Structure 1
Amino acid sequence: MNDTSTQGWLRPSEQSFYRRATDLTAWVRREMNWKLTDFLSPREFQIVESVARRDGCLAVGYGGAAASERLRAYVMPDDWQPQKEDFNITLLQAQTLEGELSHGAVLGSILGTGIDRRKIGDIEVREQSAIVAVCQDIVPFLQTHWVQAGRHAISLTVTLDDAFVGPQYDDELVSLASLRIDALIGACCHWSRTKAKEAVERGDVSLNFTEVSNADEPVGTGDIVSVRHFGRIRIHETIGESKKGRLRIKVGILKSNH
C-alpha cells in the first residue's frame, strides 16, 4: 500500500488518523522500539495494521478478551509476541444495588469524569453490573471519581479477564442491492429504505463510532454500523452475488439493551 493507493480505501474523514498512524510507524522504525496505543476502534486498528505492514512493522492488538472490538495495538519493528499483561489493560466491574445499568449510562458517566474515550475499551453490561476494559493508568482516577452511572451509585472492583467475554454477535446473511449504509440498515433492522434513511438523517446512526449524515455512505468489510435503539451491525464479508445481481453479505448483529 502506498500513499496513492490509500485513496481507494480510506474515507476523507479517516485521513487525519491515517497520518497519525504513518507518524507512529515512522517513530517505531526510527527508534527501533515498540509503541503501545490507547484503545482503537476496529476500523482504526485496521488502518494501523495496514500502515504497519506497508512500512515493514508489525501490529498486534488485544482488548481484554478474545472477542474484544476496541483494541490496544502494539506497533513493533520486529516479531515480538506480547502477552496479555503487556497491553496494560485492567477490567473494572461496576456494581449497583438498585436498578439496571445500560451501556449508555456507563459510558456517559465515565466520560463525565473527564476521561478520554480512547482510554476506554469494550463495555459489557449485565443488568446490575458492568465490566469495562480500561487503560491501566486511569484506574486510580476512576476508583476515586467514578461513583455513579446514570442515577445509580456504583462500587468498583478489579475483576479477572475470564469474567469478560466481549461482544457476542449473531451472524446472518443479508441481501443488498448496493453497499450503502441505508440499504444495510434496512436489511438488518427489517426497515424500509425510507425509515433507514430517516434514522441516518436524524443522527441516530454512526459508522465506526463516528456519526454519519449521508444515507448513501458506502460501507464495506470490517465496518461497524451503530443504530440507536437497535444495536450494532458488523460487516464480515461479501459472499458473492445472487442470480439477480444482489450482493450476499455476511454480517454480525448485536442487539442493544438500550
Structure 2
Amino acid sequence: MGRVGVDGEQRLLLRRAEELVERAERSGRAVSRHFYTPAEQELIAGAFRGRTPLTLEFDGGYEGAERRMLLLYEQGEIRPEPPLTAVAIEFPARAAVPAHRDYLGSLMGLNLKRETIGDILACPQSPGIVFAADAVCGVLYEELREIGRTPVTARPARLEEIVVPEPDGILKRATVASLRLDSVAAEGFGLSRTRMAALIAAGGLQLNFRPCESPSREVGEGDVFSVRGRGRVVLTHVGGNSKKGRTFVELTCFLR
C-alpha cells in the first residue's frame, strides 16, 4: 500500500492494520492485541474508513482514553471486547506517590513493549491504574514490585477503583483574524502569530497528532494542536464574527 508522505514505520503499521481488516472481512470480526497512539489511530482511520464495510472503532478501556486498541466487526455482529485489563497498582498510604513517568519507566524496565501498555492513571492515592494488554498482565502481577522507589503490588482492578482524573484544561475565549492554523494555535499557546508560523513551518507542531507544516491550513471545531514541551490545545467551539470581522473561538488549553 503506497502512500505519499508515509514513512517506513507507518507503512508497516498500515500493513499490519490491513492484515487485521482482511481477517475481519473473512471471519466477521477482529481486534488488535496492542494499543495505538492517537497519531496511529488517525493514520489507520484515514486509510481504511470508506474502504471497507466493516465498523472500525478504537477502545482503550474507558471513555476518553488516548491509547486505544483497534476493533473491527461486521454490521449485525456483536461488538468484540478489546483484550485489555485495568490493573490496579497499590502502594502504601505514606509512600511517595508515583508520577506518570515513574510508572512508565518501571513498566519498560520489565522489558515490555510500549505498545502493550495503554493509558496510565497516576492517581494521588492508591491504587493507580494501568491499562495493559491481556498478554502482559501476568508479568505485571508477578514481577512489578516497585514504581520508582515506591513498593507496589499489582492486581486486577475493581470497577469502582477506575477513577479518571478530571482534565485540567483551561478554557480560553478569544477572537482570531481567521481560522488559519497559525492564527488559532498562536492564541492557544500564547505566542505571536509570526513565531507560531515559524514553529509550524519547522515541523514543531502536530495537528490532530500528525505533523503539519502549513501555517495557512484552515482548522475547525475539534482540531487538536500539540507542541512538544508546551502541551496541547483543543479548538472546542467556533462562533460568529465580531463587528471588526474577527472570528470568536473557544479553546481548551492543556499547557505545561
TM-score of the two chains, using structure 1 as the length reference: 0.70
> Following the alignment from structure 2 to structure 1, what is the Cα–Cα distance between the partners of residues 114 and 225?
17
Give the CA deviation at 1:140: 0.5
Q: Which residue, 178, 181, 196 being the options, matches 1:179?
A: 181
Give the CA deviation at 1:21: 3.2
Please tell me whether residue 42 in structure 1 is matched to residue 38 in structure 2: yes
Change in 2 beyond 3 A, CA 1:25/1:213 = closer
Give the CA deviation at 1:80: 2.3
Partner of 2:57: 60
Structure 1, unmatched stretches of 5+, are none
C-alpha RMSD of matched pairs (Å) = 4.1
The C-alpha deviation readout for 1:62-106, integer Å capped at 9, x for no partner, is 2221222222221123332326xx222211122333212211221
8 A contact 1:238–1:250 mirrored in 2: yes
Change in 2 beyond 3 A, CA 1:136/1:42 = same
Give the CA deviation at 1:205: 7.0
Change in 2 beyond 3 A, CA 1:214/1:47 = closer
Q: Which residue, 83, 88, 112 being the options, matches 2:83?
A: 88
Give the CA deviation at 1:231: 4.1
Partner of 1:136: 134
Which structure has the greater CA radius of gyration?
2
How is 1:247-258 mapped onto 2 (pairs within 5 angstroms)?
249-254=249-254
Q: Which residue, 96, 114, 118 being the options, matches 1:117?
A: 114
8 A contact 1:124–1:166 mirrored in 2: yes
8 A contact 2:121–2:129 mirrored in 1: yes
> Following the alignment from structure 2 to structure 1, what is the Cα–Cα distance between the partners of residues 239 and 111?
43
8 A contact 1:67–1:168 mirrored in 2: no
8 A contact 1:69–1:167 mirrored in 2: no
- Aligned residue identity for 1:155: T
Partner of 2:101: 104
Deviates more, 1:164-173 or 1:217-226: 217-226
Partner of 2:20: 24
Identity within the alignment, %? 21
> Following the alignment from structure 1 to structure 2, what is the Cα–Cα distance between the partners of residues 12 and 241?
38
Change in 2 beyond 3 A, CA 1:222/1:241 = same
> Following the alignment from structure 1 to structure 2, what is the Cα–Cα distance between the partners of residues 207 and 70?
17
